[in-house]
Structure 1
Amino acid sequence: MTGLRHILPKNAVDAASLCYALLLIHNVIILGDFVVAPWMKEHYGTTDLQILWYNIYGGFVYINVIGNMWKIMTTNTSTIGKILPTLLKPGWHYCVVCEANGPPRSYHCPTCNRCILKRDHHCMFTGKCIGYFNHRHYICLICYTWLGAMFASTYCMGFTWTMLGEFSFYNLLCFCFPLFLLLFGMLDFYTAIICLLTLVATLFWFIITILIVWHSKHIIYNMTTHERRHNIYTYNLGWRENIKHIFGSKWYVCWLFPWIQSPLPGDGMSFPTSENFESQKDQ
C-alpha cells in the first residue's frame, strides 16, 4: 500500500487528469473494436485480416502508451536516495524546502514536494515530474499517444459522420458541441458519445502535435523547459550525444518498448557542458 501511495498522483487535479486519460483511451478502444469495426465490415467489406492488422497496430500503440505512463510514474527521478554533499559545490544551489543542496539543472516541484533531477516540467496526466531518468518515457509517451490519436480519429471519423448524415452547419455543431446539444435534447445519448470520443481524439491529435514540435527542440539541443525559456544552450553536445542523454546508450531501439534497458550516460547530478565536451574531444 505504501508503494501504491507513492505512485498515485498527489492532488485532485492530477488524479482527475490521470483518470480522464485512462477513461478516454479505453473508451476509444471499445468504440473502435465493438462499434466501428463491425460497421466497416458491413459497409465497406473490410476483411477479418484487415481488422486483425488494425488491432495489432492498436495493441502495439496501447502497450507503449500505458507502459510509458507506468514507467514515468514508477521511475524515481528526484534527489531522494541520492547522497548529496553538505558543502555547496559550484553550480549547485540550496533548496530551502528540502533543506539540502540541489544539483545543477534540478528544481523543486511543489506538487511532488521534492527536488527533481534535470526537471523539465510536471505532467498532470501521470501526476509526476519529468526529469533525467524518465524523460525518455515522456517523449515516447507523447509520440505513441500521437500515433494512437491519429489512428483513432481517422478510424472513427467516417462512422461518426455517417451517423450524423450529410455535411451541414447543424451537423458540424453536433460534432463540435455534442454534450451541449445532448443537454438540450437536440442529440441522442448514443450519437453524442460517439461524436464526443471522435472529437476528443481529433483534438488530442492536434494538441500532441504541438507538444512533439515543442519538445523536439529539447531533444536536439539537450535542454529543459527552463533552459529553453532562458536561452541556455550550455549542455548542447551535438545532436547524437544529446539524444543519448535522453534515450540512453540504446537510443536507436529503446523507443520500441518501454521496458528495454537503455542506460543513461550520467547520474543526473553532474552534466558535461558544451565547452568541456569539446575540450575532451580535442585531446
Structure 2
Amino acid sequence: MLKLRLLNAVAPAYFFMATAATFVLHFCYFIPTIFPSPDTSLRGSTALHTVVFLFLMFNALGNYIMTIKYPAESANETVIPVCSPHCSDKVDAHYLLNGRHFCKLCKKVILKRDHHCFFTGNCIGNKNMRYFIMFCIYTSCTCLYSLVLGVAFLTVEYSISFENPLTFLTLLPLSTGYFFMGTVSGLQLFLVLMLYVWLGIGLVCAGFCCQQVLLVARGQTWCQMQRGELVENHNPWRNNLKDVFGTRWILGIILPVQTVEITHSFKDRSHISNVKLLYSA
C-alpha cells in the first residue's frame, strides 16, 4: 500500500514535468529550428503547427482537469467499510455491491469503479470516464505529434537521417555512450530521452484508450473484467457509448466541456443504507 500511495503522488508530478518539458522544447527549439526563416510562405506553416500543438495540449490538460473535477465517488456514502479477512479483491479496493467499491487510496466509495488512475490521483468511474478517455486520446496525439517534430528537429539541426529504422532504435544507446564520452551535451541527451518518452506514452495511451472504449461499448468495467464477472447488458453498444459520451459527444471531442448530465440510478441510491454490508466472494 505504501508503494501505491507513493506512485499516487509521483505520477501526477511526472505528468506535469513531462508536459512542461514538451511545451518548452516545442516553442524554444522545434519551431525556431524547423521554421527559421521569417518568410511569408513559412508563417502559415509555423502558425498551423503552433495552433495544432496548442489545441492538442489544451484538450489534454482540460480533460485531465475535468477528470479530477468530476470524481466518481458517492457523496452520500461517508461510512468507511471494514474489509472482511476473506475478501478476495485486489489490494487497492474492496468490492461492495452493485459495482460499488471502496478505494483504499481515495478512501471513498466509488460508483461503477473502473480503475484507479495514478496520473490523476483518483478513481475512474461513472462520472469521469468520458473525460478520462478523451484525456488518453489527446495525450497520445500530443506525444506522437511531438515525436514527429522532435525527429524533424534532429534531422534539421544535426543532419540525422531516419530512413533506416535502426537509426531510431540505436539512437538512445549511442547518445548515452557519446554523452559519457563528452561528445553529446546534456540537452541533446535529454531530447533523445524525450523522444522515447513520447513514443512510450503515446502508444500506451492509444492502446489503453481503445481498451476503455471497447469496455464502455460492452457495458463493462475493468474491475468486472478482472473479477471474471459476465455483465448481462441488453442495451446496444450505441446506447452504452451515449451514456458515457452524452448526446453532445461531438462538442466533447473538440472541447473539454461537460456533455453528460450527472444522475444516479435508483439502484445506486437504494443501496446507500447498506454501506456497512460487505460482499464476501
Classify the TM-score, shorter chain. Answer: 0.7 to 0.9
Query: Residue in 1 aligned with 2:203?
Result: 206
The 3 A distance-change label for structure 1 pair 242 and 268 is farther
Whether 2:238 is the aligned partner of 1:244: answer no
1:171 and 1:49, CA in 2 relative to 1: closer, same or farther beyond 3 A?
Answer: closer
With structure 2 as the length reference, what TM-score do the two structures score?
0.77
Identity of aligned residues (%): 18
Q: CA deviation at 1:265?
A: 5.7
Choose which of 1, 9, 12 in structure 2 pairs with 1:18.
Answer: 12
Gaps of 5+ in 1: 1-9, 87-93, 272-283
Deviation at 1:187, TM superposition (A): 3.0
- 1:26-65 CA distance string (max 9 Å, x none): 211211111111111238x871211111111111111111
Instruction: Judge which range, 118-127 or 200-209, deviates more.
Output: 200-209
Q: Which amino acid aligns with 1:15?
A: A
Contact 2:245/2:259 (<8 A) preserved = no
| Structure 1 residue 62 corresponds to structure 2 residue 64 | no
Report the CA distance between 1:82 and its aligned residue. Answer: 1.8
2:11 and 2:197 mapped to 1: Cα distance? 14
Deviates more, 1:231-240 or 1:211-220: 231-240
Instruction: Tell me if the contact between 2:34 and 2:152 (Cα under 8 Å) persists in the aligned partners.
Output: no
Question: Residue type matched to 1:52 in 2?
Answer: A
- Whether contact under 8 Å (1:117, 1:268) holds in the other structure is no
Q: Map of 1:1-283 to 2, 5 A cutoff? A: 11-42=5-36, 47-79=42-74, 81-82=75-76, 95-96=81-82, 102-162=96-156, 163=158, 165-166=160-161, 172-175=169-172, 178=175, 182-183=179-180, 185=182, 187-229=184-226, 230-264=228-262, 266-267=264-265, 270=268
Per-residue CA deviations over 1:140-198 (Å, capped at 9, x if unaligned) read 10011111112111111122245373568687434357557535646321210111112
Q: In structure 1, the residue corresponding to 2:152 is in which secondary structure?
A: helix
Normalization by structure 1: what TM-score? 0.76
Which runs of no fewer than 5 residues in structure 2 stay unpaired?
A: 84-94, 270-281
Matches of 2:207 and 2:154, distance apart in 1: 25
Query: Which amino acid is 2:70 matched to?
Result: T
| Larger relative contact order, structure 1 or 2 (CA cutoff 8 Å, min sep 6) | 2
> Cα offset for 1:103?
4.9
In the superposition, relative to structure 1, how do residues 151 and 112 fare at CA in structure 2: closer, same or farther (>3 Å)? same
Indicate the SS of the match to 1:253: helix
Partner amino acid, structure 2, of 1:263: E
Deviations 1:101-150 (A, max 9, x none): 95511112111122211000011111111011111110010011111112
CA spacing shift, 1:244–1:33, aligned 2, 3 Å: same
Q: Distance in 2 between matches of 1:172 and 1:83?
A: 51
Which AA in structure 1 matches 2:238?
R
